[in-house]
């Protein structure tokens, strides 16, 4: 009897499962037919003209540079927020920024509702890489987070006329200080820019990185420049050599500055200078110290300061492990007290500027971790803090055609800029920034206050530059 009952129950369950499965299949079939019918059906009450949904109005954007270090709360209250609302924004901001103070010189942008003036969003640049963005989601809900600042590289063309001191003119025409310094350094051996006569025409193109919201600008390097006065023209063109290093060259392809490093190592301080009468801390006697001691962490990479050929690499008595490099014009650089010398480095090997030749140590007669750095000139030791290798390289013959082609493009771009120097009359034009929209399909122009005798053009179009 038990077996019969069990068989009956199993059969009943099977029948129910078949029934349910069949019902599900029929339901899915009916739904599929209804969907197919509805997909192509147009209801009689369909409206020919669809209703246009108006987008939310663009916020009013207020961008400023912080003029004093102060709590974000005070800036928000000055922007018109009541105390309670300002406190909610300040609290949320402090959670993401790990602090509630704004620092002088940093960029702050407020996005306010155009209808009621309420704050929708704020953005504050913590530094050149990270920004804090706070947004409201209604009902008092505010969320803040850190985000990386994204930049676009763009060329900037600037032209102005010298009416007095070069540095004053550069500042008056908003030329970034690093670019002005690069320009002055490039031409210091040909004609100091502080000695330019009145009426000299300056034209240049430099690169800058600009954040997508336009609140942060970082100059990255000079691309090309021309300075005209009397019958003279000074030219500079940036070009990457066969090692990918960018340098400035004149129109003949000769480097405008020695291609060398100022120091061979990242050091903390100079523990001992160049002297012909220095008290030795170990030998306890006065003797010449014909180099400088650069205190650095043990193991810090040591680099060749210029192109050359290895004279020797090994043990050098009191200097311990050391490397000597022959350079042009009778110059030799010396690197002593190394903890190790780069494997395979030996006399006769060519070496390039910036190549790691060893690491900081304390070998030989040394009291601690440092690099002894010295320079010989025609067999005589000279002070490495004041001596320059003075090697001005030329464009290699294999790259001359590439350099000439790029130079012609730069010259064409400079020629298209207004002629405002020399014997030309006064030229006045507004500073203009021309930027592509995010979609890349349109152009928009933003005018800034006019500067008499200057033209400044900014473009986000990709440049063929190889800026420094």
- Mean of the per-residue pLDDT values of the chain: 78
Is residue 412 a part of any domain in this protein?
yes
Angle at 332 between CA 304 and CA 346, to 5 degrees: 60
Domain that holds residue 89: 60-148
Is residue 313 a part of any domain in this protein?
yes
Is residue 54 a part of any domain in this protein?
no
Please tell me whether residues 74 and 121 are part of one structural domain. yes
pTM flag (> 0.85): no
The CATH code of the domain that includes 117 is 3.10.450.350
Please tell me whether residues 411 and 366 are part of one structural domain. no
Q: Which of 356, 382, 408 finishes a domain?
A: 382
Contact 461, 436 (CB under 8 A): yes
Please tell me whether residues 246 and 160 are part of one structural domain. yes
For CA atoms 277, 281, 284, 289, the dihedral sign is negative
Is residue 13 a part of any domain in this protein?
no
Please tell me whether residues 234 and 287 are part of one structural domain. no
* Averaged pLDDT for residues 285-312: 88
**Cα 328 to the center of its chain, rounded Å:** 33
The set of residues, in sequence order, having a beta carbon less than 8 Å from that of 157 and lying 6+ positions away, is: 203, 204, 205, 413, 417, 455, 456, 457, 458, 459
Please tell me whether residues 253 and 402 are part of one structural domain. yes
Tokens read off for 300:
């810090």
Please state the domain count of the chain: 3
The predicted-structure confidence for 211-244, as pLDDT tens digits, reads as follows: 877 777 888 889 999 999 999 999 999 998 776 7
pLDDT band per the 50, 70, 90 thresholds, residue 412:
very high
Q: Which of 128, 148, 168 finishes a domain?
A: 148
Is residue 25 a part of any domain in this protein?
no
Instruction: For residues 56 and 111, give the distance between their C-alpha atoms in angstroms, rounded to a whole number.
Output: 13
Q: Which of 91, 113, 148 finishes a domain?
A: 148
Angstrom CA distances, 286 to 245, 282, 362, 370, 380, stand at 43, 11, 21, 20, 20
Please tell me whether residues 165 and 202 are part of one structural domain. yes
Q: Is the pLDDT of residue 3 over 60?
A: yes
Please tell me whether residues 133 and 184 are part of one structural domain. no
Is residue 20 a part of any domain in this protein?
no
Going by C-alpha positions, the residue among 295, 292, 341 that lies closest to residue 315 is: 341
The CATH code of the domain that includes 319 is 2.70.70.10
Is residue 166 a part of any domain in this protein?
yes
Beta strands in 285-382 (DSSP E): 286-289, 292-295, 301-303, 308-315, 321-326, 331-341, 350-351, 356-360, 370-377, 380-382
Please tell me whether residues 163 and 131 are part of one structural domain. no
Is residue 72 a part of any domain in this protein?
yes
Please tell me whether residues 403 and 429 are part of one structural domain. yes
Pairing of strands 454-459, 428-436: parallel
Please tell me whether residues 196 and 299 are part of one structural domain. no
Higher pLDDT, 295 or 442: 295
The predicted-structure confidence for 240-292, as pLDDT tens digits, reads as follows: 877 677 789 999 998 887 778 889 999 999 888 887 655 556 555 666 788 89
The DSSP output letter for 329 is T
pLDDT band per the 50, 70, 90 thresholds, residue 24:
low
Please tell me whether residues 324 and 377 are part of one structural domain. yes
The set of residues, in sequence order, having a beta carbon less than 8 Å from that of 331 and lying 6+ positions away, is: 306, 375, 376, 377, 389, 390, 391
DSSP H stretches of helix in 79-162: 83-97
Angle at 245 between CA 239 and CA 247, to 5 degrees: 45
């Amino acid at each position: 009897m038990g077996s019969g009952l069990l068989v009956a129950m199993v059969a009943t369950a099977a029948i129910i499962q078949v029934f349910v499965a069949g019902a599900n299949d029929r339901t899915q079939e009916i739904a599929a037919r209804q969907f197919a019918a509805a997909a192509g059906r147009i209801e009689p009450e369909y409206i020919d003209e669809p209703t246009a949904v108006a987008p939310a109005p663009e916020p009013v954007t207020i961008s400023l540079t912080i003029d004093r270090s102060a709590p974000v709360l005070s800036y928000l209250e000055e922007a018109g927020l009541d105390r309670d609302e300002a406190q909610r924004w300040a609290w949320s901001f402090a959670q993401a920024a790990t602090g509630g103070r704004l620092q002088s010189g940093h960029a702050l942008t407020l996005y306010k509702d155009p209808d009621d003036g309420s704050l929708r969003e704020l953005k504050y640049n913590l530094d050149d890489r990270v920004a804090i963005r706070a947004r409201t989601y209604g009902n008092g809900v505010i969320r803040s987070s850190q985000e990386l600042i994204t930049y676009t590289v763009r060329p900037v063309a600037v032209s102005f006329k010298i009416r007095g001191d070069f540095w004053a003119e550069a500042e008056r025409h908003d030329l970034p200080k690093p670019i002005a310094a690069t320009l002055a350094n490039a031409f210091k051996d040909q004609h100091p820019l502080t000695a330019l006569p009145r009426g000299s025409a300056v034209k240049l193109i430099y690169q800058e990185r600009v954040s997508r919201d336009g609140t942060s600008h970082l100059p990255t390097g000079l691309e090309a420049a021309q300075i005209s006065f009397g019958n003279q023209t000074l030219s500079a063109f940036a070009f990457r050599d066969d090692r990918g290093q960018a340098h400035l060259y004149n129109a003949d392809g000769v480097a405008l500055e020695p291609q060398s490093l100022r120091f061979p190592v990242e050091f903390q301080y100079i523990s001992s200078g160049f002297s012909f009468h220095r008290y030795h801390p170990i030998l306890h006697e006065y003797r010449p110290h014909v180099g400088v001691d650069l205190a650095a962490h043990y193991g810090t990479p040591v680099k060749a300061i210029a192109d050359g050929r290895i004279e020797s690499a090994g043990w050098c008595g009191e200097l311990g492990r050391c490397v000597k490099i022959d350079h042009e014009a009778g110059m030799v650089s010396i690197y002593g007290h190394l903890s190790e010398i780069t494997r395979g480095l030996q006399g006769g090997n060519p070496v390039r500027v910036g190549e790691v030749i060893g690491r900081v140590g304390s070998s030989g007669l040394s009291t601690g971790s440092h690099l002894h750095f010295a320079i010989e000139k025609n067999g005589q030791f000279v002070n490495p803090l004041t001596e320059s290798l003075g090697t001005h390289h030329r464009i290699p013959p294999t790259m001359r055609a590439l350099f000439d082609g790029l130079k012609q493009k730069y010259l064409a771009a400079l020629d298209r800029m207004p002629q405002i120097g020399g014997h030309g009359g006064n030229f006045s034009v507004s500073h203009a920034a021309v930027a592509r929209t995010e979609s890349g399909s349109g152009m928009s122009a933003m005018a800034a206050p006019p500067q008499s005798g200057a033209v400044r053009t900014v473009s986000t179009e990709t440049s063929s530059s190889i800026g420094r």
